[in-house]
Structure 1
Amino acid sequence: MRIHSLPAWVQGTVTTALLLGAVTAFVPEKPTAPAKPNVIFIISDDHTSQAISAYGSRLARTPNIDRIAREGAILHNNVVSNSICGPSRATLLTGKFSHTNGYKFNEKVFDVNQPVFPEELQKNGYQTAWVGKMHLGSLPHGFDYLNILPGHGSYYNSDFVNSQNQTKRYPGYVTDVITQLSTQWLDKRDPSKPFFLVVGHKATHREWLPAIEDLGAYDNVTFPIPSTFYDNYDGRLAAQKQDMSIDKTMRLKEDLKINADYGLDEAKLAQEKADLYKSRFRNQEMTPALDKQLDNLVRNGTYRRMTPEQKKAYVEYYGRISREFEEQKLSGKALVEWNYQRYMRDYLATANSLDRNIGKLLDYLDKSGLAKNTVVVYTSDQGFYLGEHGWFDKRWIYEESLKTPFVIRYPGVIKPGTQVRHVVSNVDWAPTLLNITGTAVPADFQGKSFLPVLTNAKAGWQDQAYYHYYEYPEPHHVSPHFGLRTDRYTIARFYGPENFWELYDIQKDPQNLKNLYGTKGYETITASLKAQLKAHIVKNNDDEALKLFESSPR
């Protein structure tokens, strides 16, 4: 080697290397593979996109959810395959539709003998954990650490169940506690391994009990009455027969806390048990075990768990609201609209702590240095009605219920400010998370990774999502139905007490007000959508839907 033929700064380096016998210093190092990304998957309950400012809400305050969207991607057409709490989480875990994983409606027991995708992550070297609400009635495999709410849990001083099926009560507001338990696990994990953590929040589930510091947070806001609030459901038979309206279904005492009972009167407890059985367990046979469960639920209800300080704050705040309500002696539309205002104030006040705790988790990642290699997802188990069509709750294939918020930050991979309008489904969540972590996706998964959609490599994306809802008649009398949501249309086949079809042009009718099925001029579109729906049914082996489809009315 002729050193003098090299640049002067290199000559000096080479001369020194030769003198030290370190010629190998010139051999380039093999590039190290990037570290596997960590994943934090935050999933709330009943928190709809209409309550998030990143999705256009002008009244909700969600700066931390907005931050994830701003620093990553926001999905505008992320839909669910069965718009109800437990089944949505079962779909997340399995990457499969409800008819395949067996968890079709709430209050069932998830079959823990079936594969779940965190098991694949464990094989790939990941530590896995789930903290907070799971709502599956069992403890699935695939997690190194579990500390979950039994059922829906409680907003105040809730019990938690760990991996050994041991129950412990944690003092405090449940949203705060879930964040504390999550960061404690992060502190104690093995730092040499990547991690996958699900943070499952109870908020904003009914009955919408805010943290003490958020009581009255929206009391100075008068919410605009939705344009569809007084919908007459013309041409929509199932919608006419539902039982989920703010007018007739929402309860003054339980939902709006008007003259709520904070005591332990036995007669009132018995009535609460009867009401609870009717609203949540009516499709189950009353057995001694169920009676014991009901008794435990009412005796350990939220108000009876409260500390004297917590109860005092609630009695003072809702006592004032109750007195004001009694003085007004409202009726008719004035009463319905008052109920709507109270609902919105409690719902969004409950969401305040949710967003605040997401901020705490983001701050933790920043301070610990984990942010740069941690994927953060925020989503909810489905959409929810905030007075649209006069409703609360979910269940329908209609837009407000079908679509769920989904924002994702993946530093260095997803471009900040990415807007995604392609149709993706929650059956696609598990394959996407496996794809992100470099983990093989099992061949029997029914979803598909939408990572290419997030990074603008969209080749082959179908822009369609299959849907099937089952729970009937309780608690809200929503007829079971299956259907297809495309980038422009929704077609649905309702069954049960009555059999009929509905069709909506989302582009022209985003609120699903005009059922176009059978309308002149839509024959070709209807036939095409039916053929596409049948293809999804066959592909996904939904035998029940196929039988109903084949016997459908014209």
Structure 2
Amino acid sequence: MPQSHETAPSSASSATRREFLQGSLAAVGATLAASGRLSALSPRQKRPNLVFFLGEGQRADALSIAGNPILKTPHHDRIGREGMRFENAFCTNALCAPARATALTGLYSRTNSALDNNGSHVPLPSDIPLFTDLLHEAGYEVAILGKVHVRNGVEERYWDYYFGHNDPSNNYVNPFFKEGRKGKVGEEKQYPGVYPDDLTVDRALAWLEEDRGDKPFCLLVWFVAPHEPYFRARRHFDLYRDTPVEKPATFDDDLKGYPGKPKGFVAAENKIGTTMTHVACGSHEGIVKDYYSGLVAVDENIGRIVAWLEKKNILDETAIVQTSDHGYFLGEFRLFDKRLMHEPSIRVPLMIRYPERIPAGTVRKEQVLDIDLAPTLLDLAGLPVPAHMQGKSVLPLAKAADPEFRREWYYEYFEWPNPEAVRPHRGIRTERYKLIHYGMEPQEFELYDLQADPGETTNLYGRPETSALQQHLLARLDELQQKVPAATHPPGA
């Protein structure tokens, strides 16, 4: 049995992270200086506006452009059809707050300190810049609206406009938001009788209408739907009433004793119809229909912003990025929620539309990650990417496929305890194989050949014929983890 591996970063390893960041701060300063020079040197080439749509728990296949047989998402689809769509996009920690912190910083959870959903009143470390901080320094107006849910809502950072909430789901009927301008955020207020994402986009459109002269803008619209309890907008109450929903092939694996799955997986409480703490998760059909109805509302609201850009004749001058914080189980192995490193949980959509640099209809199969979002958004703006960011821009893939872009990557989930009793774990995913290591005692493992077994039904760990493969993957897993410096700020501190 391999020796035990720590899941949370240790204090002994904090110096690694501190040295890593200190070594990159000079590069960040150089980046800001360079952005100032760029602003002065490029009067003839206007930098694009940026719109960043972040979904909430939107699976990679929760799009009609991805072949979903039930859900219709024409406004999402337009972004992918007129831009670049990735078939293998993933998150590196399938949980709301960590994934959102990674999108903003370009850093793994282990490095940016946002390991879990705790620490809601503690800012991200001030020595880590958000990509929006760099854009602001370069002359962009920056705004964030909707479900922020990053530590303390990143309220301490500069925002020209802020209209957000920091709850996992918010109140779908009478939502709460904080509003702020020019770096100051006000008190929380309740807004009766309005669907939260509709209100978010109302405010986004109002902000877009404001006069900002020649300044480009960066608008982050982060949706809350379809987060549990999956409430629908009133206009969608009748959606899918007569639509049949097929069970996933593995839905009844629990009746077979979850063959091949470790005890920790079996004991987790993220099973449909078995938990009193998640009363909205009582039936597979109910979850699926309500989840899809929430995404229809999201799609409509994306369409409202795209229509505004088109009306103002700036659609092609605006780079649009659409993705999600993490994926979601919709009955695979009878599961709901996310957290685990299995494909429904970690796969997300990623589409980018910007005709100036991206040919329409581009589809790529390279493995891209949420750590790549911040570098990509900076690259879209024509700004250099700081050396400390752990991802890389995906824009070169718009010109040509690159088989060497990313052959393997590291995953880690920290939160413990948690409402679903999902054990902390880490893992490595290559283009063909996936190994998952649950570090709590007793240590357990899963190993899958994704080419032969895309549904992850046959656990190959411990078989004589895979001994060399699993030892190789375990060694690479350790090596990848060592390349991710640990945070100096413990979770929730």
* Other-structure match for 2:157: 141
**Alignment CA distance shift 1:391-1:165 (3 Å):** same
User: What is the SS of the residue equivalent to 1:188?
Assistant: coil
TM-score normalised to structure 2 length: 0.84
User: Is 1:236 matched up with 2:261?
Assistant: yes
1-structure distance, mates of 2:455, 2:212: 48
Q: What is the CA distance between 1:364 and its match in structure 2?
A: 0.8
Q: What is the CA distance between 1:140 and its match in structure 2?
A: 4.1
* Other-structure match for 1:451: 395
Supply the AA of the counterpart residue of 2:272: I
1-structure distance, mates of 2:84, 2:477: 29
Contact 1:537 1:543 in 2 (8 A): no
| C-alpha distance after superposition, 1:498-542 (max 9, x if no partner) | 212221111111111111122222233223322322221121125
Q: What is the CA distance between 1:97 and its match in structure 2?
A: 0.9
User: What is the SS of the residue equivalent to 1:165?
Assistant: strand
Supply the AA of the counterpart residue of 1:344: V
* Other-structure match for 2:175: 158
User: Is 1:437 matched up with 2:454?
Assistant: no
Contact 1:150 1:161 in 2 (8 A): no
Contact 2:92 2:99 in 1 (8 A): yes
Aligned length: 433
* Other-structure match for 2:131: 117
TM-score normalised to structure 1 length: 0.75
Q: What is the CA distance between 1:112 and its match in structure 2?
A: 5.2
Q: What is the CA distance between 1:81 and its match in structure 2?
A: 0.8
* Other-structure match for 2:350: 406
User: Is 1:70 matched up with 2:95?
Assistant: no
User: What is the SS of the residue equivalent to 1:210?
Assistant: coil
* Other-structure match for 1:382: 326
Q: What is the CA distance between 1:107 and its match in structure 2?
A: 3.2
User: What is the SS of the residue equivalent to 2:388?
Assistant: coil
Q: What is the CA distance between 1:170 and its match in structure 2?
A: 3.1
Q: What is the CA distance between 1:51 and its match in structure 2?
A: 2.3
1-structure distance, mates of 2:42, 2:293: 50
1-structure distance, mates of 2:64, 2:294: 15
* Other-structure match for 2:91: 80
User: Is 1:352 matched up with 2:296?
Assistant: yes
* Other-structure match for 2:197: 175
Contact 1:137 1:151 in 2 (8 A): no
1-structure distance, mates of 2:406, 2:234: 46
User: What is the SS of the residue equivalent to 2:159?
Assistant: coil
Q: What is the CA distance between 1:147 and its match in structure 2?
A: 1.0
Select between 454-463 and 350-359 the one with higher mean Cα deviation.
454-463
Supply the AA of the counterpart residue of 1:65: H
Q: 1:105 aligns with which of 85, 94, 116?
A: 116
2-structure distance, mates of 1:147, 1:189: 18
2-structure distance, mates of 1:160, 1:543: 30
User: What is the SS of the residue equivalent to 1:107?
Assistant: coil
| C-alpha distance after superposition, 1:103-147 (max 9, x if no partner) | 111132342523222111112211111011111242141422211
* Other-structure match for 1:208: 230
User: What is the SS of the residue equivalent to 1:82?
Assistant: coil
Supply the AA of the counterpart residue of 1:165: G
- Structure 2 regions of 5+ residues with no counterpart? 1-40, 489-493
| C-alpha distance after superposition, 1:248-304 (max 9, x if no partner) | 12778x416xxxxxxxxxxxxxxxxxxxxxxxxxxxxxxxxxxxxxxxxxxxxxxxx
Q: What is the CA distance between 1:157 and its match in structure 2?
A: 2.9
Supply the AA of the counterpart residue of 2:222: G
1-structure distance, mates of 2:434, 2:460: 10
Q: 1:525 aligns with which of 465, 469, 477?
A: 469
Contact 2:124 2:151 in 1 (8 A): no
Contact 1:80 1:425 in 2 (8 A): yes
1-structure distance, mates of 2:178, 2:272: 34
Q: CA RMSD in A?
A: 2.1
Contact 2:114 2:151 in 1 (8 A): no
Q: 2:407 aligns with which of 447, 463, 475?
A: 463
User: What is the SS of the residue equivalent to 2:50?
Assistant: strand
- Structure 1 regions of 5+ residues with no counterpart? 1-29, 257-335, 545-554
1-structure distance, mates of 2:385, 2:362: 25
User: Is 1:190 matched up with 2:212?
Assistant: yes
**Alignment CA distance shift 1:250-1:357 (3 Å):** farther
Misfit runs of 4+, over 4 Å: none
Q: Which has the higher strand share?
A: 2
Q: Which has the higher helix share?
A: 1
User: What is the SS of the residue equivalent to 2:345?
Assistant: helix
Q: What is the CA distance between 1:365 and its match in structure 2?
A: 0.8
Q: What is the CA distance between 1:381 and its match in structure 2?
A: 0.7
Contact 1:112 1:141 in 2 (8 A): no
Contact 2:111 2:487 in 1 (8 A): no
2-structure distance, mates of 1:340, 1:535: 40
